[in-house]
Amino acid sequence: YDHHARGVNKALTELQHDYHEVVGATMHIHLTKHTCLEVISFEGEAERVRSLATMLQSQKGVLSLKVVTAPSL
């Protein structure tokens, strides 16, 4: 995401707190002077995870979102 987009950092953090029951962990990576990568692990109800992914993608400044699924262990 473009971390210079107004309010994007706050919006992403607030969404993760709003969906705390499915967010396991996050990792923040600085890619360039203007872009960052946020890796978020989810676990829980599929509909809730889909809802969060949709909300994250809709945030101004989010350039790309990819959801990768894995079976539960």
What is the residue extent of each domain of the chain? 8-57
Q: How is domain 8-57 classified at the CATH fold level?
A: Alpha-Beta Plaits (3.30.70)
50: closest CA among 26, 25, 72, 69?
Answer: 69
Distances (CA, A) of 24 to 5, 38, 49: 25, 13, 11
Whole-number pLDDT of residue 71: 83
Give the residue-averaged pLDDT of 28-45: 95
Q: Is the pLDDT of residue 10 over 90?
A: yes
| End-to-end CA, the chain | 30
